[in-house]
Amino acid sequence: MNWVRGKMLGSGGFATVNLATHKDSDIFPPLTAVKSSDTYNSSFLLSEKKILDSLSSPYIIRCFGQDQTYENGEESYNIFLEYAQGGTLSDQLKKHGGKFPETLVRRYTKSVVEGLKHIHDKGFVHCDLKLPNILVFDEGEVKISDFGLAKEKGFKSEKWECRGTPMYMSPEAVNESVYESPADIWALGCAVLEMVTGKSPWNVSCKTNMWWFLTHIGMGEEIPLIPNELSEEGKDFLEKCFVRDHLKRWSADMLLKHPFIFDCDDENVSLMKELNIKESSLPFPSPRTHFDFLHWSSSTSTTLPPNLELCESEFQHGFPSLAERLQQLVVDHKPSDFLESDGWCVVRSN
């Protein structure tokens, strides 16, 4: 395979992401993103490629193939993914003043729901949907990326585990470690809130205690605050995403028929041209695939978390069951290893 590794987009504890230039290839476009890890830590990439090979949708990032290379004395496993010149929806949100107009939110949301429907129909759960994992392409098209934590429907670990980003976790994920299709719909609601308000789905500060926050999601009756500036259709859409009983939460197929996104494509064409999506030049923390993540890092873990404060640093957490957490709080038993950083660092791409 004839390709050249280009500038680095990001690096982390188990993988790096670079631009890749391909020469004389009928399979690969001239420019892709290559995600690489040493063979010992390649399990996330192997899982991601396997799932992406099972999916085929204009709303989901494409994987072109894999390769193994020997560079700088180390053997690497590489997967080649679509390169998004517009960066992520998180990047674009910053670039355009911290909020999107509702017409644009509707268009982006419809594309994401289309992608989720395909993922769920194919028997998978994404487990880490959020704005930094939604990539922006030419003409403003968006695609779901980062399937490193995705899983097959119905599969449950023998141990309690935490998958994804705590800020977007659903009540059933916190309480019972249940990660099925409804968990993606809850995360979708969180992403829509961020596009509308430019703020985190939960009103927390840097002094908010992690234990309290997760207990609040799992045991409380509240849902993320739905903004008043949203239309009645938008408010109703979010209410369908934030049903605390996951068995009653709307599915992606049902949401596609909701008036908030049912017929919104035509009215957004001129708006997309006005926004003029360009290649992102923002510095960002590196992600599990191409770009950054916010509000705690994505992770999958079965280890006990520290009693942490909620800040913008990227950490990796694991969580015991709710009953175990409360018991640990009562006896003030703390783990020997209070936090485990996933090692991602900030890299400028220019």
Is residue 242's pLDDT more than 80?
yes
pLDDT at 105: 96
- Token pair in block for residue 281: 């030049």
If one looks up domain 89-347 in CATH, what number appears? Answer: 1.10.510.10
What superfamily does domain 3-81 belong to in CATH? Answer: Phosphorylase Kinase; domain 1 (3.30.200.20)
- Token look-up 């999107």 returns 100
CATH 3.30.200.20 domain extents, the chain: 3-81
pLDDT at 102: 95
Q: What is the pTM of this model?
A: 0.79
Give the contacts of 197 (CB within 8 A, at least 6 positions apart): 99, 227
CA dist., res. 152 & res. 69, Å (int): 29
Residue 245 is a catalytic residue: no
Is residue 23's pLDDT more than 60?
yes
CATH 1.10.510.10 domain extents, the chain: 89-347
Q: Which residue has the higher pLDDT, 322 or 157?
A: 157
Amino acid symbol at 120: H
Render pLDDT for 255-272 as a digit per residue (tens, 0 to 9).
999 999 988 765 554 455
The answer to whether residues 106 and 57 touch, using CB atoms and an 8 Å cutoff, is no
Highest mean pLDDT among 27-31, 172-176, 244-248: 244-248
Indicate which residue of 38, 91, 128, 265 is catalytic.
128
Distances (CA, A) of 56 to 60, 71, 114: 7, 32, 12
CA dist., res. 160 & res. 209, Å (int): 21
Pairing of strands 151-152, 124-125: antiparallel
CA dist., res. 196 & res. 237, Å (int): 13
Q: Which contacts of 239-247 are long-range, i.e. CB under 8 A and separated by 24 or more positions?
A: 241/185, 241/186, 241/188, 241/189, 241/192, 242/186, 242/189, 244/171, 246/170, 246/171, 246/172, 246/178, 246/180, 246/182, 246/183, 246/186, 247/182
Is residue 283's pLDDT more than 50?
no
- Token pair in block for residue 232: 């009645």
Residue 158: other Cβ atoms inside 10 A: 6
Confidence of residue 198 (pLDDT cuts 50, 70, 90): very high
Render pLDDT for 314-344 as a digit per residue (tens, 0 to 9).
333 344 455 554 444 444 433 332 222 233 3
Q: Name the CA dihedral angle for 129, 285, 298, 20, rounded to a multiple of 10 degrees.
A: 70
Concatenate the DSSP letters of all residues of 79-104 into one string: EEE---TT-BHHHHHHHTTT---HHH
H helices present in the chain, as ranges: 43-53, 89-95, 102-121, 171-176, 181-197, 210-219, 232-241, 252-255, 269-275, 322-331
The answer to whether residues 173 and 187 touch, using CB atoms and an 8 Å cutoff, is no
Provide the greatest CA pair distance for the chain: 64
pLDDT at 221: 85
pLDDT at 8: 85
Q: Which residue has the higher pLDDT, 3 or 305?
A: 3
Using DSSP, state whether 144 is helix, strand or coil.
strand
Amino acid symbol at 141: E
Mean pLDDT of 263-290: 48
Render pLDDT for 63-109 as a digit per residue (tens, 0 to 9).
999 999 988 888 999 999 999 988 889 989 998 888 999 999 999 99
pLDDT at 150: 93
Distances (CA, A) of 308 to 137, 318, 344: 36, 12, 19
Confidence of residue 308 (pLDDT cuts 50, 70, 90): very low
